[in-house]
Amino acid sequence: MSHTLHRLGKMGALEGDWIVLAMSARGVNRRGSIPRLRRFLRMSLKHGPVNFGDMRAGSSFTKNPRELLSGMREDSLLNVVFDSEKALRRFLEELGKARLGLSVVVSGLLERGSRCARKAGLLPHTYAMSLGTWGRTNRLPDEQTMEITTMCGHGLISPRYVHLMAGKVAAGEMSASEAASELAKPCVCGAFNPVRAAELLGKMARRRLKSARSRDSHGDGGSSPSRSKRAAGVRS
């Protein structure tokens, strides 16, 4: 599975972005796989994921754990997102001992992910690497926006929606965490990282405010009550 492979960001940001996918295989171990898939999800919840979901049903931002567990299917495709390497390692350790017999994919920084797997006593048999985006890249959104949109590998988070949420944070209409939660909802797989998104939205909002103050200081309209409100309104 490669839809979680193309997340953009600097090394420091990606250190807090880990996705673990689990699924059964048609014709191999799909029949009777529901109890094992449910166990995978229950195990993950003990390690504090920031998001989780089933591509067939929705994410933690649209469904609660009980709904996801009761609606599990043999062809469910589960995603669990962690914002720390420590949480990932502990989950992999428990997963390795459980021997569920499911196909499991970990997405994140290659060297660190491999180290977590080794510490958990697991030996990855396949590595996939993203070679970046090729072609008419000038038609893509800016990289800061794509750091957020690429956290939904199926492209369900619109760049315009990201800009709208960043504007609301800058205007003090919602916190960065609240805006990130809204952005997470269209990503039905549950692969979106709301913690990282909140940090990125906060940075985008602060840049907007800085740009607005810079225009004011150069005499482009003077300060306004709305801009003063925005300056005081960015929340995490």
CB 157 within 8 A of CB 192: yes
pLDDT at 124 over 80: yes
pLDDT at residue 236 in the model: 59
Which residues have a Cβ under 8 Å from the Cβ of 140 and sit 6 or more positions away?
A: 133, 146
Burial of 64 (0-12, 13-18, 19+ CB in 10 A): exposed
pLDDT at residue 219 in the model: 67
pLDDT at 167 over 80: yes
pTM (predicted TM-score): 0.88
Q: Among residues of the chain, what percentage have pLDDT more than 70?
A: 92
Q: What average pLDDT does the structure give for the chain?
A: 90
pLDDT at residue 156 in the model: 95
| 165 band by pLDDT with thresholds 50, 70 and 90 | very high
**CATH dotted code for 11-119:** 3.30.70
For Cα atoms 127, 82, 188, give the angle at the middle one, nearest 5 degrees: 85
Strand-by-strand arrangement of the 103-107 sheet: 58-59, 51-54, 77-82, 18-23, 103-107
pLDDT at 224 over 90: no
Which part of the chain has CATH 3.30.70? 11-119
Residue pointed to by tokens 């996801």 = 68
Least confident of 1-15, 139-153, 183-197: 1-15
pLDDT, average across residues 210-232: 60
Residues 174-220: pLDDT tens digits?
999 999 999 999 999 999 999 999 999 999 999 999 888 887 777 65
pLDDT at 231 over 50: no
pLDDT at residue 1 in the model: 52
Check residues 185 and 132 and name the one with the higher pLDDT: 185
CB 83 within 8 A of CB 196: yes
